[in-house]
Structure 1
Amino acid sequence: MTVAPSPEAVRLARRLRELRESQRLTQKDLSHALSSDTRVAVATISSWESQTNPKLPPEERLRSYALLFTKAVVPAGTTLPREQDLSAAERERFNSLHRELIGLRDGIRQQATSSPVGGSYTFDFESGPITLICPEAPVDGRSPLAEEDNPNYTRLYRYADLDALIEMWGHVRASNPELRAHHQVPSEVTADHLSGHLILLGGVAWNQVTGRLLRVLDQLPIRQMTVEDLADGEIFRSRDGREYRPLWEELKEADPDAPSKAELEAFQAQDAWMGETPRELVEDVALLARLRNPFNHSRTITICNGVYSRGVLGAVRTLTDNAVRERNEAYLANRFPGGIFGLLLRVPVINGEAITPDLEIPENRLYEWSPEEEDE
């Protein structure tokens, strides 16, 4: 079923087309003019002007529109003027047009937030950069292809939680095609990365950035910590002292082809044994949190974490899985209107696969927090 665009979206699309046609510019001419900094494809401009399925332009692109159409005459082949070069009259027209376009865009976002239909606004960012920080796999557990002197060297073999990374990376790129996005392991993170939108994948053991930021983010009343009875995972503890742990099930008959205890321990899977009894992970715990970036309050930090990798993937798929994403987005919008929250979620594991939490099921929500409720 095709969902009709909102009147607000059509209004902005029509206005952008009017601006272009008022100067007798083709979409190719406009593509050239707007590509002074970062390339804008003709197809992208067409999608912004579409009356049947308009795409939302990033805020900085609307600023470029306002700069370009500040001029009384915009000939084909022109490039984007600099704001500091505008005359007083041009600056006044620029400010007026910029306010108009941003107002139209804000109307679309307000309508989408109040009644989300099919989109995902949690990862629809106003501006970049966006950096996904993914854990680095332990050296002993890496493929030989992770070695740089291997002729078939593949950088991603250095990464842990690859399922979660691929799922989140595809979703973020689809939601923000015009913004700069990167994925890094913690050792490669720079100050520039930390000043943008951050998405942290994985727990504190393999992702030092997550561990550092969880200590900095005192606002979040959830901590992850090591315990003696888990060798490979770290449990969650809320500020009230409650602990949230994964569930294991003892295997009555061990698979004769399964690795031995010694073999498992060599590959960082010691928790699959309790004493001399093999076990199967049947439920993980996930942390899904959204907070302001402590290094830049105009940007956000999203934490997708788990005791084990199944929990990390469950946190990610809460807002990427087509089967439940729309309902989960609606739940978060209604439950946390301020957009800042922390959730601990139950992630069942069946046949080795993480099952996406449905937030409408109360049993899946182990713990919920928002700063608004703390202020009450």
Structure 2
Amino acid sequence: MEQLSDSERVYVEVDFNLRPEHRFSTLTDRQESLAQQLKCAVKTVRRRSDHALETLTYLLLTGSSALTDLPQRPAPAVRAASEPNAEESMDRFWGLNRGGGVDIVCSEIPPDERPEYASPHDRNYLRYAKFADLDTLIFVRTRLAQLAPDVVVRDFAPSEYFGTHADVLVVIGGPPWNAKYREFLPQLPFHFDSRPLGEDDPLIVPDLDNLTLAPRWTPGGELIEDLAVLTRITVQGTTVFLLGGCLTLGVLGAARCLLDAGRGSTNAGYITERAGDDDFVVVTETRRVGGLTDVADLAVVEPLLLMARPYGDHWKVVVDNTERFTRQRKHSPRPTS
């Protein structure tokens, strides 16, 4: 628990009955005691406790190395004094409102590809075993909990999600394995060319002469880089973020580009300077180096492509560096072994 921030540690210690001033026999009594001390509603304490426990779970599952990605969250009073602009800009960028809700719809593995314990009828059933981009789901949930502890975050598979008018909807994983992502494709200036399992799903941009972008591989079949595709659109008052990629690496790269503790705020600022509050699409490279996912820094290396549009208008190209990608490789197929 030493790896938690000061504010998160308080909620966890109260839940575990480790605080003498809030020591009661039931969790309800402990949380009510903390709510009285903080002069807030009990449900607020419960939400913050849930977020703190999620962060603790993530740290336990990933080990201490997770701290390089998720540094300690300062206490609210300290954070407000030290970085109000960064926090407020991220809240506005993501559309996060106190007491609001964020729904996450994560891609799911096709039924015939799932392990046995992904079935609710299996004696060792694990709900999260059916999710395809599980690393991205855990990362997004954890970072949103740190950014906005007063926001309720829920996660779903596409097959179990029915719109609940959340303030923010985050869709993780591209259209091949995420039916919710497919619902938004008619509004987007790109699409993925769905290929059979085991092959890449290249990105196609019709407005740029059907420009085709795909992952890069070494002759020996090692993945060099994938494409991270970040999209924000507004639909009937809901801010929708689509985090996609040709492969799972690109999906994680898209999430980290916008939510990384070190660069997320900078990247959000780069996009806001060029797209404002309009809908946008950003395409950039994502690499894995030594088992670590490289995080894009758009202020240093601009994205391959940035398109934007006012709500309901036509998409326009704002930044086009796609020649950088096509110059490095003339679209070559994935090497076969």
TM-score category of the 2 structures, normalised to the smaller one: 0.5 to 0.7
SS at match of 2:94: coil
Alignment partner for residue 162 of structure 1, among 131, 134, 139?
134
What letter corresponds to residue 197 of structure 1 in structure 2?
V
SS at match of 1:318: helix
Distance across 2 between alignment mates of 1:312 and 1:222: 16
Alignment partner for residue 327 of structure 1, among 266, 277, 280?
266
Residue equivalent to 2:96: 125
Alignment partner for residue 201 of structure 2, among 207, 227, 234?
234
Residue equivalent to 1:202: 173
1:28 aligns with 2:36: yes
Residue equivalent to 1:53: 78
Distance across 2 between alignment mates of 1:156 and 1:51: 31
Do the aligned partners of 2:95 and 2:239 also contact (CA within 8 Å) in 1? no
Length-normalised TM-score, structure 2? 0.65
Alignment partner for residue 370 of structure 1, among 300, 308, 315?
308
Distance across 1 between alignment mates of 2:168 and 2:243: 14
Residue equivalent to 1:282: 224
Length-normalised TM-score, structure 1? 0.58
Residue equivalent to 1:248: 217
1:336 aligns with 2:271: no
Worse overlay, 343-352 or 178-187: 343-352
Worse overlay, 350-359 or 149-158: 350-359
Shift in alpha-carbon separation, 1:30–1:209, aligned structure 2, 3 A: same
Distance across 2 between alignment mates of 1:171 and 1:313: 13
Displacement of 1:356: 1.4
1:137-156 equivalent positions in 2, closer than 5 A = 137-156=109-128
Do the aligned partners of 1:290 and 1:340 also contact (CA within 8 Å) in 2? yes
Residue equivalent to 1:312: 251
Shift in alpha-carbon separation, 1:51–1:361, aligned structure 2, 3 A: closer
Shift in alpha-carbon separation, 1:41–1:309, aligned structure 2, 3 A: closer
What letter corresponds to residue 236 of structure 1 in structure 2?
L
Distance across 2 between alignment mates of 1:136 and 1:280: 25
Larger Rg belongs to: 1
Do the aligned partners of 2:44 and 2:150 also contact (CA within 8 Å) in 1? no
Structure 2 unaligned spans of 5+: 1-33, 50-74, 319-337
**Runs of 4+ residues over 6 Å off in structure 1:** 41-44
What letter corresponds to residue 125 of structure 1 in structure 2?
L
What letter corresponds to residue 28 of structure 1 in structure 2?
Q
Residue equivalent to 1:350: 289
Displacement of 1:203: 0.9
Displacement of 1:128: 2.7
Do the aligned partners of 2:136 and 2:251 also contact (CA within 8 Å) in 1? yes
> What number of residue pairs does the alignment pair up?
251
Distance across 2 between alignment mates of 1:248 and 1:27: 54
Residue equivalent to 1:223: 191
1:174-213 equivalent positions in 2, closer than 5 A = 174-192=146-164, 196-213=167-184
CA deviations 1:341-363 (Å, max 9, x no partner) are: 1101111233454311111233x
Displacement of 1:283: 0.8
CA deviations 1:249-301 (Å, max 9, x no partner) are: 111xxxxxxxxxxxxxxxxxxxxxxxxxxx11111011011110x2x22x200
